[in-house]
Amino acid sequence: MANLFDPKMLSLMERLDLAARFVVEGFLSGRHKSPYRGFSVEFSQHRAYTPGDDTRHIDWKAYGKTERYYLREYQQETNLTAHILVDTSRSMAYSSGQLRKIEYAKMAAACLAFLVLDQQDSVSVMAFADDVRIAIAPTARQAAFVDVCEALAPIEPEGSGDIAAALHRAAGMFKKRGIVVVISDFLSDVDAVVKGLEHLRFAGHDCLVIQVLDTAETGFPFSGMTLFEGLEDGGRVFADAARIKREYLRALHEFMTKLRSGCVASQVDYLLAGTSESIDKVLAGYLLSRRGRR
């Protein structure tokens, strides 16, 4: 578990807010806007007074102008639930350096879980490949961070990932609106993945996609005759790397552009994270920009 996170990294994440940009539902007192109306936190609108209403909330300035009684109505703030989905399929085992994509994804999930729990919100975690491998139900217990790390740490990549199926399953499982973070390389059918994200958005969730790719996948540093092995289907190709590099990079650019465009069209945040990049800096930059868009 100790390899999942660095104390300095978590110290930085603690200072950042993961704030929902869309209205979220909840029932605990927290820091996030709710569609439920109440008399606390933030002024929302006026409504006409009716007998039996609490007179403490009458807007006397409005009465002075209209000679009619109006109540100041407020928005309650609620607890946020962040659902973190981690792809643990075979393609996540790839690494051209010291850190595999699966380790990077686990670190990102651990950092986000720590952040959410630290701000007294709820987090749930689901690891998936062909099917759900682990699922931690939504909890706001600070001690749950240890549970998250202990559950994720031993998982090794296996199976052919069905990202779209996992997204549709999640949309059916998550009853209350919140934030859904999907961490994966997304080496799958982009159209199917986007439909899964649209399902989550239709259900009212605020979504973030974190695409984790290895430096070799994005830069293709290979040369000479090289044996390339499929990440999930097991196929093998022996080819001259220099001859296929241009076509590979063109196809990769097309694939990534399609995924990013699909996310933008669906109002889903997209974040590219290379395994050579420091995860704390990647997440910190995103969260700070997100806070600026509130």
Write the pLDDT tens digit of every residue in 185-227: 999 999 999 999 999 999 999 999 999 999 999 998 888 878 7
Q: For residues 245 and 194, give the distance between their C-alpha atoms in angstroms, rounded to a whole number.
A: 27
Distance between CA atoms of residues 262 and 178, nearest Å: 20
Average pLDDT of the chain is 82
Q: What percent of the chain has pLDDT over 70?
A: 80
Q: Which amino acid is at 113?
A: A
Strand order in the sheet with 42-48: 32-38, 70-78, 42-48
Q: Which two tokens stand for residue 190?
A: 């982009």
Banded pLDDT at 290 (limits 50, 70, 90):
confident
- Which residue carries 């439909």 as its tokens? 195
Instruction: State the pLDDT confidence band at 33, using cuts at 50, 70 and 90.
Output: low
- Phi, psi at residue 74, to the nearest 5°? -125, 165
Which pLDDT score is estimated for 266? 96
Q: Give the pLDDT mean for 10-26.
A: 48
What pLDDT does 23 receive?
39
Confidence band of 27 (pLDDT split at 50, 70, 90): very low
Give the β-pairing of 32-38 and 70-78: antiparallel
| Alpha helix positions (H), the chain | 7-14, 60-66, 101-118, 144-152, 163-173, 190-202, 215-219, 241-265, 279-292
Question: CB–CB of 208/269 below 8 Å?
Answer: yes
Q: Which residues contact 152 (CB under 8 A, 6 or more apart)?
A: 4, 86, 106, 109, 110, 125, 127, 134
Report the C-alpha gap between 145 and 105 in whole angstroms.
16
Highest mean pLDDT among 30-44, 123-137, 220-234: 123-137
Rounded to whole angstroms, the Cα distance separating 114 from 147 reads 11
| CA–CA distances in Å: residue 142 to residues 82, 84, 119, 192 | 14, 16, 10, 36
Structure confidence at residue 93 as a pLDDT band (50, 70, 90): very high
Query: Residue 291: is its pLDDT beyond 80?
Result: no
Rounded to the nearest 5°, which phi and psi values hold at 127? Answer: -105, 135
Sign, Cα dihedral of 93, 97, 103, 104: negative
pLDDT exceeds cutoff 90 at 24: no
CATH number of 2-25+79-292: 3.40.50.410
Among 30-34, 70-74, 145-149, 261-265, the least confident range: 30-34
Instruction: State residue 170's pLDDT score.
Output: 92
**What pTM did the predictor assign?**
0.80
Residue range(s) occupied by CATH 3.40.50.410 in the chain: 2-25+79-292
Instruction: For residues 277 and 95, give the distance between their C-alpha atoms in angstroms, rounded to a whole number.
Output: 13
Per-residue pLDDT at 45 exceeds 80? no
